[in-house]
Amino acid sequence: MNKYLGTILNSARLTSNVFKLVVSVPELTENVTPGQFCQIRIATELSHDPLLRRPISVADYDPTRQKLTFIIRESGRGTKFLARLVPGQQIDLFGPLGTGFPVHRLVKGDRALLIAGGIGAPPLYYLARQLHANGVECATILGFRSHSESFLIDEFSQFGPVRVVTDDGTLGSCGNVCTEITAWTSEGLDWTHGFACGPLPMLQALQAQLAGDGRPVWVSLEKRMACGLGACAACTCRPANPNSTASGPRLVCKDGPVFLLGEVELGE
């Protein structure tokens, strides 16, 4: 991990409150794994407000052109600042950080099921692109509140079949990702490895639905954090099995944000 100065190449709205930033980071030579994130400084050089950086997952990475893509939901003061950035402006990045998805565990012929809820879609897009390049079959379920909040559907479709589900039924099926897993499975969906990212209630429902399934499923968690390095211990979560060999709390920023489903408690 290192500190980099990036230059905004492109900023675009995907929905009313979701936007994309494409950043040129010419000094970035490290490998960026799907599921990793960067800590982005929000304040200007002349200010320390806001003091803390914001952890943003990597939505895509082009190592040849040294470009990082971030897809961000505008929800607070820090992300509103990022939404106002325009091409040519610079941002201070620290990363890549965290433990990403185990892309190397899958080989050609494996079948991945990607399950995304809302803003959980961006890190899974980068994962899907890498898996597809490695010959892994990808099937994706994208869950949104409504049609107006949907994004990345066409992009995921490049890598395999996509099912969309919305809370209000304005796009795709009416329901949630769990009901769509059941429906698609009844139609013959077959998968060997699962990957999920989304709001906590979605992950909790997935854990209940897939309990005892036997197939490995990795989930990406979101927690408030300060340092991103494990020093502040602000993003701890408890292991699901207190008798596991790796005793003590897990750190989402360092041990995660990607964990095997069932490895840690999915509590508040």
Domain spans of the chain, in order of start: 2-97, 103-214, 221-268
Say what the pLDDT of residue 267 is: 73
Residue range 54-97, pLDDT digits in tens:
899 999 999 999 999 999 999 888 899 899 999 999 999 998 99
Number of C-beta neighbours around residue 118 at 10 A: 20
- What secondary structure does DSSP assign to 19-46, as a single string? EEEEEE-TT--S---TT-EEEE--S-TT
Share of residues in the chain with pLDDT > 90 (%): 70
Helices (H), 86-140: 121-133
> Tell me, what DSSP letter sits at residue 51?
-
Number of H helices, E strands in the chain: 5, 16
Say what the pLDDT of residue 2 is: 87
Whole-angstrom distance, CA of residue 156 vs CA of residue 254: 28
If you compute the radius of gyration of the chain from its CA atoms, what whole number of angstroms results?
Answer: 18
Say what the pLDDT of residue 29 is: 79
| CATH of the domain spanning 2-97, picked from 2.40.30.10, 1.10.287.70, 3.40.1050.10, 3.80.10.10 | 2.40.30.10
| CATH of the domain spanning 221-268, picked from 2.10.240.10, 2.60.40.420, 2.40.50.140, 3.40.50.720 | 2.10.240.10
Say what the pLDDT of residue 221 is: 92
Whole-angstrom distance, CA of residue 239 vs CA of residue 190: 29
Share of residues in the chain with pLDDT > 70 (%): 93
Mean pLDDT over all residues of the chain?
A: 91
Residue range 109-142, pLDDT digits in tens:
999 999 999 999 999 999 999 999 999 999 999 9
Residue range 149-181, pLDDT digits in tens:
999 999 999 999 999 999 999 999 999 999 999
Cα separations in angstroms, 155 against 59, 125, 128, 230? 12, 8, 10, 33
Say what the pLDDT of residue 216 is: 96
The residue among 198, 202, 268, 206 whose CA lies nearest residue 237 is 268
CATH topology of domain 103-214: Rossmann fold (3.40.50)
Number of C-beta neighbours around residue 77 at 10 A: 10
| Rounded mean pLDDT, 37-62 | 79
